[in-house]
A and B are shown apart, each in its own frame.
Chain A
Amino acid sequence: MPQLPFPSAVPISYYLILSAILFVLGVAGFIYRRNIITVFMSIELMLNAVNLSFVAFSYKFAKPDGHIFSFFVMVVAAAEAAVGLAIILTVFKNKQTLQIDDVDSMKL
């Protein structure tokens, strides 16, 4: 195979920067979108980004601890998704809306 002008493997920091980009995109989605479910999915995106970061670090130290942490994050994300969607259903039942701006009864 001819030598390609870019390296054959990437350093770990590239994974971390990718994780950062995904995280920031998750924050952007969280702040800008108005649909509750989309907001929730942005949260899931942020969690995934963090998972990637954990796994990258786990590779660096050659230990399974990062994988385990990532595993737990996934478990908690699952539980959170279940309960969160149930809450969204309840909110929809009460307010008949999926706009996050309409859920403002905590306003002072």
Chain B
Amino acid sequence: MDAILFFVFAALAVGCAVSLVLQSHPIASALSLIGVMGSLGVLYLLLGGEFIAMAQLIVYAGAIMVLFIFVIMLLNAGAEPPGPKAKYLKFIGAPLLIVLMGLIGYFVQTQMGATEVVKFGSKSDFGSPASVGMSLFTQYLLPFEVTSVLILIAILGAIVLARKEID
């Protein structure tokens, strides 16, 4: 069961990612990205990360992507016209990426080798909100507080950058 779920949602994620890269209209790319995030959320659940899965769906897919879509609509971005064919990109870029992919795969296989399988619920509740919260508020308290300041700064920055000039 775990395997089937994995393969289905993995294929979904990869398909949506490919669609993100290949679609010409930004809105289509945005919707594909939402699809990727949703699939990843399920995969997080499989890996026992309940809190993260929910956070992904609520924050990432629900807030950030909505922000993206708002901006696309604000800017009235249209479909991207097919641009000049840059041959060198095709010659260098594709092999480069394939090589990158191959390398990572190779390392994963050799370093990780024989690893255990992922079975839903087989391990303790390390990913539950209680466990994450406990860790967040004791061991990682400082980064937590710092990120709240970070968000504050981001809000200020966004407001300053995007407001209309008051003449």
Contact = CB atoms under 8 A, between A and B. Distances in A.
Interface of A: 6-18, 20-29, 31-35, 37-38, 40-42, 44-45, 48, 51-52, 55-56, 58-60, 62-65, 67-68, 70-72, 74-83, 85-90, 92, 98
Interface of B: 1-3, 6-7, 10, 13-14, 17-18, 20-21, 26, 29-30, 33, 36-37, 40, 43-44, 47-49, 51-52, 55-56, 59-60, 63-64, 67-68, 71-72, 74-75, 77, 80, 83, 89, 93, 97, 100-101, 104-105, 108-109, 112-119, 123-124, 126-127, 131-132, 134-136, 140, 143, 147, 150-151, 153-155, 157-162
Given A25-B18, A45-B33, A72-B147, A82 B158 contact: yes
Contacts of B1: 8
Contact of A88 (B20, B71, B89, B160): B71
B150 to A, nearest CB: 6
A56 to B, nearest CB: 6
A26 B32 CA distance: 13
Contacts of A18: 10, 13-14, 43
For the complex of A and B, 4 pairs with smallest distance between CB atoms: A79-B154, A86-B161, A9-B117, A86-B162
A15 B71 contact: no
A20 B10 CA distance: 12
Nearest to B69: A37
Given A24-B100, A68-B136, A38 B119 contact: no
30 contacts: A11-B118, A12-B115, A13-B112, A13-B113, A20-B108, A28-B97, A31-B89, A33-B80, A35-B80, A37-B77, A41-B33, A44-B60, A48-B40, A52-B40, A55-B47, A59-B47, A59-B49, A64-B126, A64-B134, A67-B132, A68-B136, A74-B60, A75-B151, A78-B60, A79-B151, A80-B154, A85-B71, A88-B71, A89-B71, A92-B75
A99 to B, nearest CB: 8
Main secondary structure of the interface of B (DSSP, over half): helix
B91 to A, nearest CB: 13
B157 A83 contact: yes
B101 A41 contact: no
B18 to A, nearest CB: 7
B105 A17 contact: yes
Contacts of B97: 24, 27-28
A44 B17 CA distance: 11
A63 B140 CA distance: 13
B118 A59 contact: yes
